[in-house]
Amino acid sequence: MEDYMAKYESWLSSDYFDAEDKKELEAIKNDKKEIQERFYKELEFGTAGLRGIIGMGTNRMNKYIVGKATQGLANYILKQPGAAQKGVAIAFDSRNMSYEFAQTTALVLSANKIKAYIYPELRPVPVLSFTIRHLGCTAGVVITASHNPAKYNGYKVYWEDGGQVPAPRDGEIMKEVNAVEITEVKKTTIEEAKKAGYYIEIGPEVDDAYIAAIKKLSLNGDIIKKVADGFKIVYTPLHGSGNKPVRRILKEVGFKNVYVVPEQELPDGNFPTVAFPNPEFPESFALAIELAKKVEADIIVATDPDADRVGGIVKTSNGDYAILTGNISGSLLTEYVLSQRKAKGTLSKNPAVVKTIVTTDMIKPMCEAYGAKMFDVLTGFKYIGDKIKEWEKTGEYTYEFGFEESYGSLAGTYARDKDAVAATMLLCELAAVLKDRGLTLYEGLMELYEKYGYYKEGIKSITLEGIEGLERISYIMEALRKNPPTDLAGKKVEWLCDFKEKQFKNLITGETEENNLPSSNVLRYKLEGGAWVCVRPSGTEPKLKIYYGIKGTSLAHAEEEVKNLEGFMGDYVDKL
């Protein structure tokens, strides 16, 4: 019997698994390929935790896999002096099974005599990050699959600083998780856990503290009040966790006219009105645009299910609506934060801005203009959080702002993960400040281009699911690594940067560079004329991601060059 079939049969025959759950497995008994997909491997507990399709099986998200992960985390915490007493904070979003997985997490921790602080209803990821620090917990867990399709869920682990677990601690936790057998997971009931004092519901006072922290980031409350009567916002939480906190912060800083898309207001893990609950996709805004046209909104904003990413749409000069990419909104917010703090005298003496290696280069001249140091880090907001932690210890720089192209940013140090609640407030505030000047947000963007240059970026995601998809992604990366291109879309490759092998070489001069970033399966090509291309497998989805950016001589030229790069790279990778 093949190994995956043996695992399937063991789950079916074991009394450890609930009879109701095993019905799902019985229903696929004649589907060998489905059985293989569910049992050919164990869902990998990586540096950010778990993420996978919901269902029964070793390669699926279910309460047994969540229990195993939590038991491993508990075993690790119990080996750290004093860590169990400080406890673990737990939050969850609107996805299917999120509440059940959060309950499983809390009960396994409680059974191991580790305090579990759990929210009674859904909360955004940044709230969990804030809560860990606010309550002084050892760690945190949030149940979410971010903006993945409805069939997914995930399990993200954070450490005491509020950031995702850093190296080498992430590897140490992974070892503990991998050493756990599912049948070894300790269990208890809510009644027993509460009675013993290990299951504690988090009260509204933590929400109040979180909102208060964000309000401190507001830079122009007086202008908001000045334009509030005529300023209109359309907001959609895309059936996720942003609804309450976003509406609350907008109200508390002075915005009066906030219209929430009714069809997308309530939490729903099936996300019935969108193909993907992702503010990166223009289709997600269809209902919001309809509402915006009715109320003549100044800005449209959308947050993803766990409310750590925000997307915006603005009205253009010809009356159409244009989506703000993560690079554009991040650049607008960087300029806003730096310029306003500089003008108000609150910019630190040693300011720093952090972005990822696949994020726009527009930030370079921007930081130079305000005397801020710019840092590049690997893809993933945990690396931005690491910089905050580093500078708090050394005092070498002061964190002012950080963002990544995938619509995530953080303007303060109250949390260690991207925060769409705060970003929504600042984006709406910027639009209000521009309106006070008689400008739209779109016109503000044109000012940014004129000031710093016509930077344009794009991303092509190639979805490759299942075993074959995983093999194809691996093959493409190795093919690119072994036979590096010398020319892309008619542009010479000047630098080949291999972040996995830590080799950075100028293909024209033979010059090499050192790079102190951690090893990662990423290839970046610097092309003549300032263009660049970056290729990497997604860490959270079955996708190969291709990023590209250029600086054009005009907006039209920049857009044309980006389209050329996108088309070329798609064909180039397909032929590998």
Q: Which residues contact 51 (CB under 8 A, 6 or more apart)?
A: 61, 145, 148, 152, 153, 154, 155, 540, 541
| Residue 574: count of CB within 10 angstroms of its CB | 9
Strand pairing report for 232-236 and 199-201: unpaired
CA 211 – CA 213 distance, rounded (Å): 5
CB-count exposure of residue 271 (10 Å: 0-12, 13-18, 19+): buried
Q: How far apart are CA 196 and CA 111, in angstroms?
A: 10
Where are the extended beta strands (E) located within 508-565? 512-513, 523-527, 532-537, 543-552
The 3-state DSSP class for residue 493 equals strand
Q: Is 13 a catalytic residue?
A: no
Task: Annotate 242-260 with DSSP letters as a single string.
Answer: THHHHHHHHHHTT--EEEE
Whether the Cβ atoms of residue 115 and residue 89 lie closer than 8 Å to each other: no
List 146, 284, 406, 409, catalytic entry? 146
Instruction: For the beta carbon of residue 205, count every other beta carbon within 10 angstroms.
Output: 9
Rounded distance between C-alpha atoms, residue 62 and residue 101, angstroms = 8
Question: Residue 341: helix, strand or coil by DSSP?
Answer: helix
Contact between residue 188 and residue 104 where contact means Cβ atoms under 8 Å apart: no
Contact 39, 8 (CB under 8 A): yes
Per residue, the 3-state secondary structure of 155-203, as one string, reads: EEEEECCCCECCCCHHHHHHHHHHCCCHHHCCCCCHHHHHHCCCEEECC
CB-based contact 541:445 (threshold 8 Å): no
Contact status, residue 426 vs residue 333, Cβ threshold 8 Å: yes
Torsion sign, CA atoms 386, 392, 397, 403 = positive
Three-state secondary-structure class, residue 309: coil
Burial class of residue 310 (count of CB atoms within 10 Å of its CB; 0-12, 13-18, 19+): buried
Per-position DSSP letters for 86-155, written without gaps between them: H-EEEEE-SSTTHHHHHHHHHHHHHHTT--EEE-SS---HHHHHHHHHHHT-SEEEEE--TTS-TTEEEE
Instruction: Decide if 353 contacts 432 (C-beta within 8 A).
Output: no
Tell me if 119 sits within 8 A of 201, measured CB to CB: yes
Burial class, 203, CB count within 10 angstroms (exposed 0-12 / middle 13-18 / buried 19+): exposed
Residues carrying an active site annotation = 146
